[in-house]
Amino acid sequence: MPLFKILFLPDKKQVSISEKENLLQAARAAKIPLKASCAGAGVCRTCQVKVKKGTVRIEPDEHQDASIKQPDKAKEKSGLNKATTPYVLACQAFPLSDLTIEIPEATRLTKLQVLTYDSAENLKACPLSVSPSPHYYPVYLSLPPFSSTATKDKLSSLLVALKQKTSLVPTRVSLKALQSLAKILRPNDKDREITVFLTEDTGYPALSLEEIIPGHFKEKYYGLAVDLGTTTVVAELLELTKGISLAVKGIYNQQLLYGEDVISRLIYAQENENGLSYLQEAIVDTVNTLIKELTISNQISSSEIKAVVCAGNPTMTHLFLGLDPVDLRLKPYTVAAHNPPAVQAQEVGLEIYPQAAIKCVPGIANYLGGDVIAGIVASNMTEGDELTLFIDVGTNGEMVLGNKEWLIACSCSAGPAFEGSGLKYGVLAIPGAIDRFKITSTSTDLEVEYTTVDHLPPKGICGSGLISCLANLYRSGVIDRRGKFILAPDHPRLRILNGEKELVLVEDITISESEINNLIRAKAAIFAGIRSILQFLNLSLEVIDSLILAGGFGRYLNLKEAVAIGMLPDLPPQKYAYAGNIALKGAKMMLLSAEARKKTLEIAHKMIYLDLSEGNTFTEEFLAALFIPHTNLNLFPSLIKDKK
């Protein structure tokens, strides 16, 4: 089968693909991030590229609309040439010759607004007051001399000395350690000092002797805490002997090339040959990029990183470790392991010390994973009597309610609407994304004010902007409680496209009634999850002493607007706390502290998971929440007061 050369501009990157591979696959091979929220299904229409030279074959696109320019049907079979319109969807275009492709700026997945860390000044949490105790650590030993009459071998002598000093007995000794032992301990050597490196595995009776070096190790060595987010990945580099943080960096998750939400990626892994391999390679490449940036900026060798703790949802953990994730979306929804055993860096492909111990924070359910557990550890909500509700909003809304006595958790599918997916002008938090609106109704029109990420020209609307938009449209009387437009048919901002009403917000950026409906359904799912967990315990909203909003999305949304649309409960503002990237903080605590690792297991074992698919409570609450703010206005007393 012939291969065709694909040159991408302005990147000047070239790859070769067959006629059975599309331009989106070519872009992935070239490591060029294109928007592809539907993972190449031809539905989202965001992967538009320009054919500058050569011919392509266009797959029939049943999802095509007038917003994407396409050649006529006769040209689709014979390919494109200079006489035809050169814009195509990358996922639907296959090469028939060598090609030169130009990628428009609007198609590119550019820099995201990444929340690397947050001081969480108003979060009632304190770090563990212990000296660093990472799960990969050195032990200094001074061994007695060998005797010609002794029957003990070198390893036995070492293990006896280790047990006498630490009471520890390794269950495994690596081949590398054994090879080093054979070299560095000679019968006539006077210097009997060595340092052994041990690896502990959280939740398993496993202690591995990984490395042996001569002398008393006094050098620095390093660890990495990683937040394996669906959209962004953040890593923090730490010096482990003193527990000092050196730097934090975050970038977009390269898996965005295969879909913006976990469901799209699960489908891609299931339906595409080598799909799992591509997804694992993408997340590992993402972490390796962060490792390279962190080590170069701090002038250390990547081989000095000896321990890693990763916090991610169950899908991200499966994909990072290369575990088949198909059963995560098929009943009875079974994960491979809630608490995967520690693995070595060389097994997953991380470009650090090959035998470095990689540990993933344990989860408890199919849709409640290590990122939430890490957040609970870092929040310190299990240390006191006050009742705390922890919420992490994403494609799934995960929430945990409890205190030091008990914990109950649930997860509800909010969908990717608040991440911009499925909306014509929905975008991730990229530069130029609208993140705030102020809409005022006048006698003749609407006054629309807005802000964007990095103060750049508007490119679309991100999650916090969508919440702000919905709240302002309702407040200004543009939509009713069901999300339907109530403007006059001849309103200058209202138009009908493909039989559906849509409102022009900013320049050519619009929002339609069906998109508003998707946003209402997403907010309804979050509030229904909160109500369901409280109803299960026969508790009211008023008993909540504090509410923690986790993650980047929670950090950037406007609390008043989130309450106004009925997404979050109407509690006094002082009860809310923004936790920022608390999953990263929890991973860091596990990396540095044996106490934190112990607490993680205790929390995972203690937490009860409430399956919202069982019974009718969630469905009833969801239907009741499909209005702005809710069918029961008594649940939002401050909004009633404001209207008065």
Domain contains 119: no
Q: CATH number for the domain including 615?
A: 3.30.420.40
Q: Do 451 and 538 reside in the same domain of the chain?
A: no
| Interval 330-382: pLDDT, tens | 888 899 999 999 999 999 999 999 999 999 999 998 889 999 999 999 999 99
Q: Do 530 and 383 reside in the same domain of the chain?
A: yes
Q: Do 266 and 312 reside in the same domain of the chain?
A: yes
| Interval 16-56: pLDDT, tens | 999 999 999 999 889 888 887 777 778 777 889 999 999 99
Q: Do 206 and 276 reside in the same domain of the chain?
A: no
- Degrees (nearest 5) of the Cα angle 109, 64, 503? 75
Domain contains 125: no
Calpha distance 310→350 (Å, rounded): 12
Q: Do 226 and 316 reside in the same domain of the chain?
A: yes
Q: Do 483 and 496 reside in the same domain of the chain?
A: yes
Listed residues 190, 214, 238: the one ending a domain: 214
- When pLDDT is cut at 50, 70 and 90, the band that residue 555 belongs to is low
For 503-533, the DSSP string reads EEEETTEEEEHHHHHHHHHHHHHHHHHHHHH
Domain contains 210: yes
Domain contains 118: no
Domain contains 8: yes
Q: CATH number for the domain including 206?
A: 3.10.20.880
Calpha distance 264→266 (Å, rounded): 6
Q: Do 533 and 505 reside in the same domain of the chain?
A: no
Q: What is the mean pLDDT of the segment spanning 190-214?
A: 89
Domain contains 28: yes
Calpha distance 176→169 (Å, rounded): 18
Which one is predicted more confidently, 367 or 294?
294
Q: Do 405 and 359 reside in the same domain of the chain?
A: no
Residues 6+ apart with CB under 8 A from 342: 135, 199, 201, 202, 204, 206, 357, 358, 359
Question: What range defines the domain where residue 23 resides?
Answer: 3-107
Q: Do 301 and 393 reside in the same domain of the chain?
A: no
Does residue 484 register a pLDDT over 90?
Answer: yes
- Degrees (nearest 5) of the Cα angle 585, 548, 600? 45
Listed residues 518, 539, 565: the one ending a domain: 518
- When pLDDT is cut at 50, 70 and 90, the band that residue 599 belongs to is very high
What pLDDT sits at residue 119? 40
State how many domains the chain has: 5
Does residue 77 register a pLDDT over 50?
Answer: no
Q: CATH number for the domain including 271?
A: 3.30.420.480
What pLDDT sits at residue 108? 82
Listed residues 518, 543, 573: the one ending a domain: 518
Burial 123-143 (b: 16+ CB within 10 A, else e): bbbeebeeebbbbbbbbebeb
Domain contains 114: no
Q: Do 410 and 421 reside in the same domain of the chain?
A: no
- When pLDDT is cut at 50, 70 and 90, the band that residue 122 belongs to is very low
Domain contains 556: yes
Q: Do 421 and 408 reside in the same domain of the chain?
A: no
Burial 392-421 (b: 16+ CB within 10 A, else e): bbbbbbbbbbbeeeebbbbbbbbbbbbbbb
Q: CATH number for the domain including 15?
A: 3.10.20.30
What pLDDT sits at residue 130? 52
Q: Do 270 and 410 reside in the same domain of the chain?
A: no
